[in-house]
Amino acid sequence: MGTHTHAGEKTYRYVPVPVPVVRLKTTLKHNDEFKKESGNRQPTSKLVMMKRVITTLAVWLLSTTASFAHAVLVETKPAANGLVPGPDINVELRFNSRIDSTRSRLTLVLPDQTLRPLSLQPPSTPATLDAHINGLGAGAYKLRWQVLAADGHITRGEIPFQVK
Ligand SMILES: [Cu+2]
């Protein structure tokens, strides 16, 4: 009989279904573990190919997310375009991520455009640059900063401010 089915056939067909669910979990494992596992299965099945694509996507997503960890300025003292009383001012630049203060630079641009490198104070948090500046006359200044973030990227910028 053409439509005859064995009692066990249905069960047999459903056996492979839970397997991909288990295999997909391996994409969360470390890359080396994954390679070891997939290397044992010959020949390369569609499922293994799919796993590779998913793993590649996962790794790409992780690295893309990590690249956003470079330092972006969140808040400054003095504020950008702010007016502060002299002659002594406190400088604090706060970033969105941890920075390497030993490889970060802060320079004051004087009203006559000459540069004064500033020595950094011990930072109040791992994400801040602190400095103290003495003896500023009234005028327009700029803080020029360059920082190295924990992800190895350098960012830089300028903060203009006025001393009254
Ligand atoms: Cu970065």
Residues with Cβ within 8 Å of residue 99, at least 6 apart in sequence:
71, 126, 127, 128, 129, 147, 148, 149, 150
Q: How many helices (H) and strands (E) does the chain have?
A: 4, 8
User: Residue 69 Cα, ligand 1 centroid: separation in angstroms?
Assistant: 5
pLDDT of res. 134: 96
pLDDT of res. 43: 63
User: Residue 128 Cα, ligand 1 centroid: separation in angstroms?
Assistant: 16
pLDDT of res. 5: 34
User: Residue 16 Cα, ligand 1 centroid: separation in angstroms?
Assistant: 43
CB 106 within 8 A of CB 129: yes
> Where are the alpha helices (H) located in the chain, listed in sequence order?
9-14, 18-24, 31-39, 46-66
Rounded distance between C-alpha atoms, residue 42 and residue 38, angstroms: 8
Residue closest to 140 by CA, chosen among 78, 92, 95, 98: 78
pTM for this structure?
0.59
DSSP state of 122: P
User: Residue 106 Cα, ligand 1 centroid: separation in angstroms?
Assistant: 19
Mean pLDDT by 10 residues, the chain (164 residues): 35 38 38 44 69 65 58 96 97 95 96 98 94 97 96 96 97
pLDDT of res. 35: 44
pLDDT of res. 62: 53
Ligand 1 (single-atom ion) residues, CB below 5 Å? 70, 151, 153
User: Residue 71 Cα, ligand 1 centroid: separation in angstroms?
Assistant: 7
DSSP state of 120: P
pLDDT of res. 68: 58
CB 78 within 8 A of CB 159: yes
User: Residue 129 Cα, ligand 1 centroid: separation in angstroms?
Assistant: 18
